[in-house]
Amino acid sequence: MNAFLILEDGTVFKGTSIGSTREIISEIVFNTSMWGYLEVLTDPSYAGQAVCMTYPLIGNYGICHEDMESLRPWPDGYIVNELSRMPSNFRSDDTIQNFLEEHDIPGIAGIDTRALTKILREKGTMNGMITTNENYNLDEILPKIKEYRVTGVVKKVSCTEKKELKGDGFKVALLDIGAKNNIGKSLNERGCDVTIYPCDTPAEEIIASNPDGIMLSNGPGDPKECEYQIEQIRKLYNTDIPIFAICLGHQLMALATGADTKKMKYGHRGGNHPVKDLASGHVYISSQNHGYMVDGETVNPEVAEVAFINVNDKTVEGLRYKNKSIFTVQFHPEACPGPQDSDRLFDEFIQMMEVKKNA
């Protein structure tokens, strides 16, 4: 069956329908990873977006449910150049085609994904429609495509009740604003007793649980939309509890302390982004997925200092807060884009909790 990807600037790509055949309008973004497509599909940070994979062949090792970063996939749509329909991998449980159909996610294959990516890089991230309707009318649908906004996605992806990952070490409260499974797992593997809280949990409840540390997760959407979470994180900041934040959590902590965020032209999404630790000069190869960034010029130097920068474009990739046991990063130290360069940041968080407990 034919499918069409229609961008808000009027560009139309014709391909083949994969997954669900329902029609969607979404924000179109691209990911440059050569592998890890299941982790991309199940990353809650992609809620409200349709993902284009720039690597030309996707699906060759199938779907392994053990590797999922959440209980279900979150993108609105999926865009690939060539879809492998016969995966070869002893761990494979399913095909991408079946996986998309099962979860009612529409997609399109057989289009020039490099051409699409070049458009998004030159013009910036834009909205688009995936449809199987061959009788579409551009004059009718372009206004609808342009009107689309990513809203309400943090509430959509967060857990609805507390969950626990039992451990015999430090007690960590993880605020789920779109958490990938591997964040809680990375803490739990280090012995932490992790309690995962829904995104609308009051700060007072987290503080009353007397945690040794607080983890703020990744998540989707515009950070400025998360007004309630920003208010609660400001209360958490005003305690002396050690805090480590990733991605959206990093952005919300910055907003809670007076800095600003802004939307990037096309964001960082992939598994090979170089990030420099300004204290050591060491460069990590990191996994990233974000379309917003902290504006470094708005960070109050009396509150925090820039600790990490992106080597490619010099954007802020992390902050260390002064006179506080708090540090935040924009990238994903829990991910494994090949090397595990930055997972030591979880060990640093453990050390912060040890220092606090022994003070």
Q: Which residues are designated catalytic?
A: 247, 332, 334
Residue 24 region, left (φ>0) first, then alpha (ψ -120 to 50), else beta? beta
SS3 279: coil
- The answer to whether 251 is annotated as binding is yes
Neighbours of 343 (CB within 10 A): 18
**45 a known binding residue?**
yes
Q: Confirm or deny that 292 is annotated as ligand binding.
A: yes
Helix, strand, coil percentages (3-state) for the chain, rounded to 5, are 30, 30, 40
> Which one-letter DSSP state was computed for residue 36?
-
128 a known binding residue?
no
User: What are the structure tokens assigned to 9, written together?
Assistant: 């600037």
Tokens of 144: 């609808």
Determine if residue 219 is labeled as part of a ligand binding site: yes
Mapped onto helix, strand or coil, the DSSP state of residue 284 is strand
**How many beta carbons lie within 10 A of that of residue 310, not counting itself?**
20
Nearest one of 126, 139, 101, 119 to 20, comparing CA atoms: 101
300 labeled part of a ligand binding site: no
- DSSP letters of 43-106? -GGGTTEEEEE-SSEE-TT-B-GGG-SSSS---SEEE-SEE-SS---TT--B-HHHHHHHTT-E
The answer to whether the annotation marks 289 as part of a ligand binding site is yes
Q: Is 55 annotated as a binding residue?
A: no
Alpha-carbon distance values, 325 to 229, 241, 319, 347 (Å): 20, 7, 12, 14
Helical pair 248-256 and 227-237, crossing angle rounded to 10 deg: 70
Half-sphere exposure at residue 28, Cβ-oriented, CA atoms within 13 angstroms: 32
Kindly calculate the radius of gyration of the chain based on its CA atoms and give it in whole angstroms.
Answer: 20
Please state, in angstroms and rounded to a whole number, the distance separating the CA atoms of residues 285 and 356: 30
Can you tell me the distance from the alpha carbon of 236 to that of 204, in angstroms, rounded to the nearest whole number? Answer: 8
Distance CA 146, CA 137 (A): 15
Annotated binding site: 45, 219, 221, 248, 251, 289, 291-292
Annotated binding site for L-glutamine: 45, 219, 221, 248, 251, 289, 291-292
